[in-house]
């Protein structure tokens, strides 16, 4: 990214994110990339990295296993293979085999995932499944990584000779050991090892009595280590066999290297794939640690963060069991400069750093801790002026440092820049510094830059209120408990709550009143009015949230009551129908009994049969008439209900729609998530899940 410097990384604590990422990297390439991680201005590049990480995160969330891709890198082995007549060692062949096994597992894991993991599938498209490499290496090496004896007929013969000779050496040595021990010529240890050879530990007083080669003495010279004469020639023969073994193994490895060299293009593809997957896996594990996700991506310089967290603060608070308040912040062309005011220690700087850090992380290819319905765009430059950065070496004060920083910003800032300015304008005389800060503010506005600015200066707040594409925001403060609420409100500027914060920190009321007496009464009254307005807004927000909850509870109870009434009505109708059916059956039974009584077995019963047929025809006509009446009643009821039912346009509800509750609720909310039957709606600062059939679409 153009103009991104390490001071910006330090200001936003991006260097701490790099450190966290380092803990998840296994191989040198991933570690080097983590050290050098920086935001990119080409959206296609960082968007591809985001999508790859998101796909691997989805595989993990689905519970589908993915191969461990942190095997040793094979870049150096590939370079050696590329040299003619070179020979790979045992460790190199082990790395190549492991890489081939891992890639085969990766291909199997990505099988039939073209639709769900297209980026990862494309990444693996340069490799293919093969057993030839594994089988050829396994034909030479055993499970312990040693060259097999049957790798060649000559090696079999050499190792058989070595086994035979080693047994002969041991037999002869034990024979001499027993003989000299019986004579009392050996020390208490009896034997030792020198240069991988068994030697007799002979008391030095008897060393001339033992024929053989002296290979050393103990520190005090009391023991002489002697290789028995009968073993000298056999050990020499063993050295010859070991040399023959080394030469044969080298020949076998040279032949295997030549056989393996034909797969060099595939090994190079292995290296690229495994290095990339190790990097993606590290970023995925960081996302899991931070509970991060991928927001929607915009093509312009804007963003809408929903329930965004500062990752480092959220992780630290989670360890300490402390709640972290999420922020919802948006910048767009219509509101591209946000001025945040409010009390000290109220969360202004955290809100500003959250915006900057998440944007830098996103453009570095890292998933961010926001609601997935958030949307984020791309900036060509991200510039910061945060904290006290006075320089003793250059004899710069804080204000001089900030002026130098602002001068460089004015050389760079344009319509694709995001500026993050904390405590804007401070460090000099409040009136003079405030005037200069206002001029800087106007200049950055004229350049159409995007910015998040925190300040206590009233002139900056009022100037933002006059600018069409600038907006004020304030951090909430509870005047009753004298505690910050760490929630950002967009709209009115906030009071600094200077005297309230002083009271919290133990400053006496007498001193506070004396300080108020030294101020312009209008200034004190204005600050009081702003703080009262913010307090009333906090109270109204609480009441609104409470009313919304009550509305939802009332709607639920109303639905439960309606279902209960419908159930009782259906039950009554069912019982009534059963009773009527039983009465009708009883009447039919009596009528049938009359026909039975009239039946005369000795006559033709012509009149009886005519009455029966007449009765059956009448009963059928009644039944058909009743069915027709029931259908007509149902049709009329449906038509009446349709005529009475209000139009709620549920089919129009989608992401970003404005809605309200059907039960007469006046508060409008914004849909921030939606599925088949429910929607997540943001009513002010209150967020809740509501069934779609409880919502009414509201035209903008």
Q: What is the DSSP string of 401-432?
A: HHHHHHHHHHHH--TTEEEEESSTT-SS-HHH
pLDDT at 395: 40
pLDDT at 520: 54
pLDDT at 314: 92
pLDDT at 48: 94
pLDDT at 525: 53
Percent of the chain with pLDDT over 90: 36
* 262 vs 621, residue with greater confidence: 262
pLDDT band at residue 245 using 50, 70 and 90 as cut-offs = very high
User: What's the helix, strand, coil split of the chain in %, to 5?
Assistant: 55, 15, 30
Q: Strands of 686-691's sheet, edge to edge? A: 686-691, 678-683, 669-674, 658-661, 695-698
Whether the per-residue pLDDT at 294 is higher than 70: the answer is yes
Whether the per-residue pLDDT at 577 is higher than 60: the answer is yes
Question: CA nearest 350: which of 470, 471, 488, 450?
Answer: 488
Q: Cα(417)–Cα(534) distance, rounded to whole angstroms?
A: 31
Whether the per-residue pLDDT at 132 is higher than 50: the answer is yes
Q: Cα(240)–Cα(235) distance, rounded to whole angstroms?
A: 9
Question: CA nearest 212: which of 194, 230, 197?
Answer: 230
Q: Cα(290)–Cα(311) distance, rounded to whole angstroms?
A: 6
Mean of the pLDDT values across residues 35-52? 92
Mean of the pLDDT values across residues 210-232? 85
pLDDT digits (tens, 9 = 90+) for 424-453: 766 555 566 678 888 888 999 999 999 999
SS3 state of residue 398: helix
pLDDT band at residue 23 using 50, 70 and 90 as cut-offs = very high
pLDDT band at residue 676 using 50, 70 and 90 as cut-offs = confident
Question: CA nearest 375: which of 312, 330, 314?
Answer: 330
pLDDT at 283: 96
Whether the CB-CB separation of 55 and 117 falls below 8 Å is answered with yes
Q: Cα(521)–Cα(355) distance, rounded to whole angstroms?
A: 37
pLDDT band at residue 494 using 50, 70 and 90 as cut-offs = very low
Q: Cα(104)–Cα(266) distance, rounded to whole angstroms?
A: 12
Mean of the pLDDT values across residues 22-34? 93
| Pairing between β-strand 303-308 and β-strand 375-376 as defined by DSSP bridges | antiparallel
* 574 vs 379, residue with greater confidence: 379
Whether the per-residue pLDDT at 583 is higher than 50: the answer is yes
Whether the per-residue pLDDT at 527 is higher than 80: the answer is no
pLDDT band at residue 517 using 50, 70 and 90 as cut-offs = low
pTM beyond cutoff 0.75: no
Whether the per-residue pLDDT at 538 is higher than 70: the answer is no
* 563 vs 224, residue with greater confidence: 224
DSSP H or E segment with residue 155: helix 153-182
Whether the per-residue pLDDT at 322 is higher than 80: the answer is yes
pLDDT at 394: 44
SS3 state of residue 508: coil
pLDDT at 387: 67
pLDDT at 551: 66
Mean of the pLDDT values across residues 56-82? 89
* 575 vs 161, residue with greater confidence: 161
Whether the per-residue pLDDT at 685 is higher than 70: the answer is no
* 351 vs 494, residue with greater confidence: 351
pLDDT at 179: 87
pLDDT at 563: 77
* Mean pLDDT taken over the chain: 83
Alpha carbon distances (Å) from 163 to 91, 133, 152, 194, 367: 26, 31, 17, 20, 60
Lowest-confidence segment of 192-201, 587-596, 683-692 by average pLDDT: 683-692
Lowest-confidence segment of 109-123, 205-219, 244-258 by average pLDDT: 205-219
Q: Cα(106)–Cα(94) distance, rounded to whole angstroms?
A: 18
pLDDT band at residue 393 using 50, 70 and 90 as cut-offs = very low
* 555 vs 95, residue with greater confidence: 95
Q: How many CB atoms neighbour CB 133 within 10 A?
A: 22
Mean of the pLDDT values across residues 103-120? 91
Percent of the chain with pLDDT over 70: 83
Whether the CB-CB separation of 325 and 487 falls below 8 Å is answered with yes
pLDDT at 392: 39
277-308: burial string, b at 16+ Cβ within 10 Å, e else: bbbbbbbbbbbeebebbbbeeeeebbbbbbbb
Mean of the pLDDT values across residues 465-493? 72
Phi, psi of 422 (to 5 degrees): -100, 135
pLDDT band at residue 16 using 50, 70 and 90 as cut-offs = very high
Q: Cα(695)–Cα(653) distance, rounded to whole angstroms?
A: 9
Q: Which two tokens stand for residue 584?
A: 């009708």
Beta bridge partners of 472: 339, 491
pLDDT band at residue 97 using 50, 70 and 90 as cut-offs = very high
Whether the per-residue pLDDT at 29 is higher than 70: the answer is yes
* 458 vs 536, residue with greater confidence: 458
Beta bridge partners of 186: 202
Whether the per-residue pLDDT at 181 is higher than 90: the answer is no
Whether the per-residue pLDDT at 530 is higher than 60: the answer is no
pLDDT band at residue 415 using 50, 70 and 90 as cut-offs = very high
SS (H, E, C) 123-140: HHHHCCCCCHHHHHHHCC
Angle separating helix axes 264-290 and 28-35, nearest 10 degrees: 50
Mean of the pLDDT values across residues 156-162? 94
Whether the per-residue pLDDT at 79 is higher than 60: the answer is yes
Q: Cα(140)–Cα(260) distance, rounded to whole angstroms?
A: 12
Mean of the pLDDT values across residues 118-136? 94
DSSP 104: H
DSSP 368: B
pLDDT at 390: 45
Q: Which two tokens stand for residue 395?
A: 């004899």
């Amino acid at each position: 990214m153009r103009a991104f410097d390490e001071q910006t990384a330090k200001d936003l604590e991006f260097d701490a994110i790099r450190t966290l990422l380092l803990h998840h990297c296994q191989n040198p390439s991933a570690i080097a990339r983590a050290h050098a991680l920086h935001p990119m201005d080409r959206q296609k590049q960082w968007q591809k990295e985001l999508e790859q990480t998101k796909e691997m995160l989805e595989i993990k969330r689905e519970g589908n296993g993915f191969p461990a891709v942190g095997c040793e890198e094979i870049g150096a082995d590939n370079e050696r293979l590329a040299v003619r007549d070179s020979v790979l060692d045992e460790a190199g062949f082990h790395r190549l085999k492991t890489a081939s096994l891992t890639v085969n597992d990766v291909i199997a894991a990505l099988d039939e995932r073209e639709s769900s993991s297209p980026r990862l599938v494309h990444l693996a498209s340069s490799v293919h499944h093969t057993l030839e490499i594994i089988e050829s290496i396994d034909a030479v090496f055993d499970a312990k990584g040693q060259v097999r004896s049957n790798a060649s007929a000559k090696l079999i013969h050499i190792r058989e000779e070595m086994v035979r000779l080693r047994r002969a050496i041991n037999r002869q040595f034990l024979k001499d050991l027993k003989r000299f021990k019986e004579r009392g010529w050996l020390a208490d240890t009896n034997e030792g090892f020198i240069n991988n050879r068994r030697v007799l530990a002979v008391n030095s007083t008897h060393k001339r009595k033992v024929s053989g080669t002296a290979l050393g003495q103990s520190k005090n010279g009391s023991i002489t280590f002697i290789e028995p004469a009968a073993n000298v020639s056999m050990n020499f023969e063993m050295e010859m066999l070991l040399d023959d073994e080394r030469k044969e193994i080298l020949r076998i490895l040279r032949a295997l290297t030549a056989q393996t060299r034909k797969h060099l293009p595939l090994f190079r593809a292995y290296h690229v794939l495994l290095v990339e997957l190790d990097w993606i896996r590290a970023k995925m594990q960081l996302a899991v640690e931070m509970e991060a996700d991928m927001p929607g991506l915009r093509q312009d310089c804007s963003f809408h963060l929903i329930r965004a967290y500062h990752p480092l603060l959220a992780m630290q608070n989670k360890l300490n069991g402390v709640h972290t308040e999420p922020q919802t912040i948006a910048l767009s062309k219509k509101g591209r400069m946000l001025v945040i005011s409010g009390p000290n220690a109220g969360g202004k700087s955290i809100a500003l750093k959250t915006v900057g850090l998440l944007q830098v992380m996103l453009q570095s290819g890292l998933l961010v801790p926001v609601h997935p319905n958030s949307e984020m765009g791309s900036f060509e430059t991200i510039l910061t002026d945060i904290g006290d950065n006075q320089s003793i070496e250059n004899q710069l004060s804080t204000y001089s440092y900030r002026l130098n920083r602002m001068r460089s910003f004015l050389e760079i800032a344009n319509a694709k820049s995001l500026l993050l300015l904390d405590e804007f304008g401070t460090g000099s005389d409040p009136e003079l510094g405030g005037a200069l800060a206002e001029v800087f503010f106007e200049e950055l506005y004229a350049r159409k830059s995007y910015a998040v600015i925190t300040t206590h200066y009233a002139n900056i707040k009022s100037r933002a209120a006059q600018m069409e594409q600038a907006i004020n925001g304030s951090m909430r403060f509870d005047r009753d408990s004298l505690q910050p609420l760490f929630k950002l409100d967009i709209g009115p500027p906030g009071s600094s709550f200077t005297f309230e914060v002083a009271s919290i920190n133990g400053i006496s009321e007498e001193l506070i009143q004396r300080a108020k007496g030294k101020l312009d009464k209008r200034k004190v009254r204005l600050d009081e009015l702003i703080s009262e307005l913010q307090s009333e807004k906090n109270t109204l927000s609480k009441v609104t949230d409470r009313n919304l909850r009550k509305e939802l509870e009332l709607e639920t109870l109303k639905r439960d009551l309606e279902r209960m009434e419908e159930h009782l009505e259906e039950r009554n109708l069912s019982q009534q129908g059963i009773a009527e059916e039983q009465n009708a059956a009883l009447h039919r039974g009596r009528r049938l009994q009359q026909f039975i009584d009239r039946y005369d077995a000795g006559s033709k019963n012509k009149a009886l049969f005519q009455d029966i047929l007449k009765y059956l025809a009448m009963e059928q006509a009644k039944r058909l008439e009743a069915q027709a009446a029931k259908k007509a009643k149902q049709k009329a009821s449906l038509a009446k209900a349709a005529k009475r039912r209000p139009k709620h346009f549920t089919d129009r509800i989608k992401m970003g729609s404005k809605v309200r509750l059907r039960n007469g609720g006046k508060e409008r909310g914004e849909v921030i998530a939606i599925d088949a039957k429910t929607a997540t709606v943001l009513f002010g600062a209150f967020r809740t899940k509501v069934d779609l059939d409880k919502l009414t679409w509201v035209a903008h």
